[in-house]
C-alpha cells in the first residue's frame, strides 16, 4: 500500500517536471514575475529600506509569487487528462505529488528571490543558517497550503481571483510566524527565542499535510 | 421531512429570550468594578463579548456540519453549514462594530494593532471568502462539497491563528490575552452573575436565527420543486 503510494508519487512528480520543462514559458513567466516584482520594489523602496521592511517585503513577494506559481497546479492540463489520472492513481498520491513538486518550485523561487534581494538590497542577515531554515519551512508551508487552495479554487469559476481571496486569510498564521523567525535571523546571531516559531511552523505544516491527505479525495471526485 | 421542518423545542428559544432580557436589564443595574479607563463602559462586556461567543458557536456549528456533509452528502447538512456561517458573519460584524465603538472610547482609536483584532478580522475575511467561493460554483452538489472542504480547512487554520498569534506577537492591550480563542476574563463575581447567562443567551439567539433561516431555505427549496 505504502510502496504503491510512493511509486505513484514518484511517477507523478516526474510527470510534472517533464511537463514544466516542456512548457517552459509558464516557468519563465513566473521567473520574470519574480524578478520584475523585486526590481519594482527595489526602485520604490530604495530610500526607505530598513531591516524591518527588507524582511516584510521578502515574504510578501514570496507569497505573491507562490500564489501565481502554484495557482495553476490543477488547471494547466485539460479536464479530460485529470479524469485519466483519476482512473490510474489514488487521490492521495496526486495531492502529495503536487505538494512535493510545488515545494521544489517554491524552494527554487525562494532561493532566487533571496539572491536578488542580496544583489539589490544588500545583505542584512546575521544568522544565515536560521534564515535558510526559515526559507525551507516557508517553502514547505506555502507549497502545502497553496496547493490545497489551488485544488479548491480549480473547482470554481474565476479561479485566479479566488486563489488570492481564499489563500490570504488562511496563510496569515504561517506568514506572520515566518516573518517573526526571519526577523530573528536578521537581528541576532544566537538561536534564543527561535524554538517557539519553529514549533509553530512545524505544527502548521504537519496539520496542513494531514488535512490535505484527508480532504483532497473529496475535491477529486466529481 | 415534514416533521423536521416543524418547530421543535420551544423551551430553548424562550430560555434564550429570557436570558437576554435579564442581561439587558440587569446588565445596566449590576454593580461593576469602576476602573479608570473603562468606567461604566465595562458593561459592554455583556454585549460585545456575547457577539464573539455567538459567532464562535455558529462557526463551530458550521464546521461540524461540513464534516457531517462529507460523511453522507445530505443536502440538509450543507444548508445548516451555510446558514450557520451567515449568522456567524452577522454576529462577527456586530462584534466588530460594538468593539470599535468601545475601542474609540477607551483606547482612543477605532482600530488598533492587536492580535485579538487581527484574529477577528481574518475570521471575517475567511468566511466572506467562503461565501464568494460558494457563489462561483453553479452545480449544487459540487458547491456543497468544495465549500465543505474549504470550511474544514480554513476553520482549523483559523483556530491555529487565533491561538498562535497572541503568543508570537507578545503584548496585547485587549483583555483575555491567555491565548485561548474564547477569552478568560478576570471578572468580579458580581459581573459574572450577568456575564455567563448573557453569553448563553447570545449563543441561543444565534441558534434560533440559524434555525429560522434553515427552515426558510428548506421551504423555498420545496416550493421550487
- Tell me, yes or no, whether B46 lies in a domain: yes
Residue pair B196/B35 in contact by the 8 Å Cβ criterion? no
- Tell me, yes or no, whether B6 lies in a domain: no
Nearest to B168 among A153, A170, A197 (CB): A197
Kindly determine whether residue A157 and residue B136, on different chains, have CB atoms separated by under 8 Å: yes
CATH code, domain with B201: 1.20.120
Query: Cell match 523602496: residue?
Result: A45
Count Cβ atoms below 10 Å from residue B184 Cβ, excluding itself.
11
- Does the CB of B110 have a partner CB in chain A at under 8 Å? no
Question: Per residue in A95-118, pLDDT tens?
Answer: 999 999 999 999 999 999 999 999
Query: Cell match 485519466: residue?
Result: A84
**Chain A residues lying within 8 Å of B164, measured CB to CB:** 173, 177, 200
What kind and span of H or E run contains B97? helix B75-106
- Does the CB of B131 have a partner CB in chain A at under 8 Å? no
Q: What is the dihedral of CA A153, B66, A201, A149, to 10 degrees?
A: 0
Q: Which of A35, A21, A57, A60 is nearest to A171 (CA)?
A: A60
- Tell me, yes or no, whether B86 lies in a domain: yes
Question: Per residue in B56-66, pLDDT tens?
Answer: 999 999 999 99
**Length of chain A in residues, anyone?**
222
Residue pair A96/A61 in contact by the 8 Å Cβ criterion? no
Check pLDDT > 50 for residue B5: no
If one counts the domains in chain B, the total is 1
Kindly determine whether residue B165 and residue A173, on different chains, have CB atoms separated by under 8 Å: yes
Kindly determine whether residue B136 and residue A222, on different chains, have CB atoms separated by under 8 Å: no
Single pTM value for the model: 0.89
Question: Per residue in B149-205, pLDDT tens?
Answer: 999 999 999 998 887 777 666 656 666 544 433 344 556 677 788 888 889 999 999
Q: Which cell goes with A189?
A: 546571531
What angle in degrees, to the nearest 10, is found between the helix axes of B115-135 and B140-168? 170
pLDDT of residue B176: 54
**Chain B residues lying within 8 Å of A172, measured CB to CB:** 118, 122, 161
Give me the numbers of helices (H) and strands (E) for chain A, helices first please: 8, 0
DSSP-derived letter for residue B136 is T
Domain limits of chain A?
2-220
By residue range, what is the domain housing residue B185?
20-218
ipTM for the predicted complex comes to 0.90
- Does the CB of A4 have a partner CB in chain B at under 8 Å? no
Which A residues, 127 through 186, put their C-beta within 8 Å of a C-beta on chain B? 145, 148, 152-153, 155-158, 162, 165-166, 168-170, 172-173, 176-177, 180
A126 confidence band (pLDDT: 50, 70, 90): confident
Total beta-carbon pairs less than 8 A apart between chain A and chain B? 83
Mean pLDDT, rounded, of chain A: 89
Q: Which cell goes with B165?
A: 498569534
Sorted by sequence, the CB contacts under 8 Å of residue B192 that are 6+ apart come out as none
Nearest to A156 among B133, B156, B161 (CB): B133
pLDDT of residue B164: 72
Count Cβ atoms below 10 Å from residue B199 Cβ, excluding itself.
20
**Chain A residues lying within 8 Å of B165, measured CB to CB:** 173, 176
Distances (CA, A) of A40 to A34, A61, A120, B44: 10, 11, 11, 47
Report how far residue B14's alpha carbon sits from residue A190's, in angstroms, rounded to the nearest whole number: 60
- Tell me, yes or no, whether B155 lies in a domain: yes
B106 confidence band (pLDDT: 50, 70, 90): confident
- Tell me, yes or no, whether B104 lies in a domain: yes
pLDDT of residue B169: 63
- Does the CB of A119 have a partner CB in chain B at under 8 Å? no
Q: Which cell goes with B140?
A: 449544487
Kindly determine whether residue B150 and residue A166, on different chains, have CB atoms separated by under 8 Å: yes
Q: In angstroms, what is the C-alpha Rg of chain B?
A: 19
Phi-psi region of A112 (alpha: psi -120 to 50; beta: other; left: phi over 0): alpha
Amino acid at each position: 500500500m505504502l510502496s504503491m503510494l510512493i511509486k505513484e508519487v514518484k511517477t507523478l512528480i516526474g510527470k510534472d517536471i517533464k511537463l514544466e520543462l516542456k512548457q517552459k514559458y509558464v516557468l519563465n513567466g513566473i521567473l520574470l514575475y519574480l524578478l520584475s516584482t523585486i526590481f519594482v520594489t527595489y526602485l520604490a523602496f530604495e530610500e526607505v529600506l530598513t531591516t524591518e521592511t527588507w524582511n516584510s517585503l521578502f515574504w510578501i513577494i514570496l507569497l505573491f509569487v507562490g500564489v501565481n506559481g502554484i495557482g495553476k497546479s490543477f488547471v494547466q492540463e485539460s479536464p479530460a487528462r485529470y479524469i485519466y489520472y483519476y482512473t490510474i492513481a489514488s487521490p492521495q498520491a496526486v495531492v502529495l505529488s503536487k505538494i512535493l513538486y510545488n515545494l521544489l518550485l517554491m524552494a527554487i523561487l525562494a532561493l532566487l528571490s533571496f539572491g536578488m534581494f542580496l544583489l539589490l538590497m544588500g545583505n542584512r542577515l546575521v544568522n544565515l543558517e536560521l534564515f535558510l531554515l526559515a526559507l525551507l519551512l516557508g517553502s514547505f508551508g506555502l507549497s502545502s497550503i497553496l496547493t490545497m487552495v489551488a485544488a479548491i479554487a480549480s473547482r470554481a469559476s474565476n479561479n485566479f481571483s479566488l486563489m488570492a481571496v481564499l489563500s490570504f486569510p488562511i496563510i496569515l498564521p504561517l506568514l506572520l510566524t515566518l516573518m517573526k523567525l526571519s526577523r530573528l535571523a536578521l537581528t541576532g546571531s544566537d538561536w534564543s527565542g527561535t524554538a517557539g516559531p519553529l514549533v509553530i511552523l512545524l505544527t502548521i505544516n504537519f496539520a496542513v499535510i494531514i488535512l490535505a491527505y484527508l480532504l483532497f479525495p473529496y475535491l477529486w471526485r466529481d | 421531512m415534514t416533521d423536521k421542518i416543524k418547530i421543535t423545542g420551544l423551551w430553548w428559544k424562550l430560555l434564550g429570550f429570557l436570558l437576554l432580557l435579564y442581561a439587558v436589564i440587569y446588565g445596566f443595574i449590576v454593580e461593576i468594578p469602576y476602573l479608570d479607563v473603562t468606567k461604566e463602559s465595562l458593561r459592554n462586556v455583556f454585549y460585545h463579548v456575547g457577539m464573539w461567543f455567538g459567532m464562535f458557536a455558529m462557526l463551530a456549528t458550521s464546521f461540524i456540519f461540513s464534516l457531517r456533509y462529507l460523511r453522507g452528502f445530505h443536502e440538509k447538512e450543507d444548508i445548516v453549514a451555510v446558514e450557520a456561517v451567515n449568522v456567524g458573519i452577522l454576529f462577527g460584524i456586530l462584534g466588530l462594530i460594538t468593539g470599535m465603538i468601545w475601542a474609540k472610547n477607551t483606547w482612543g482609536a477605532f482600530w488598533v494593532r492587536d492580535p485579538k483584532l487581527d484574529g477577528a478580522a481574518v475570521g471575517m475575511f475567511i468566511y466572506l471568502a467562503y461565501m464568494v467561493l460558494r457563489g462561483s460554483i453553479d452545480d449544487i452538489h459540487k458547491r456543497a462539497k468544495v465549500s465543505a472542504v474549504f470550511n474544514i480547512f480554513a476553520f482549523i487554520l483559523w483556530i491555529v491563528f487565533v491561538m498562535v498569534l497572541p503568543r508570537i506577537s507578545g503584548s496585547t492591550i485587549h483583555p483575555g490575552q491567555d491565548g485561548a480563542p474564547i477569552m478568560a476574563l478576570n471578572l468580579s463575581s458580581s459581573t459574572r452573575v450577568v456575564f455567563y447567562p448573557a453569553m448563553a443567551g447570545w449563543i441561543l439567539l444565534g441558534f434560533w436565527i440559524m434555525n429560522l433561516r434553515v427552515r426558510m431555505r428548506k421551504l423555498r427549496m420545496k416550493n421550487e420543486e
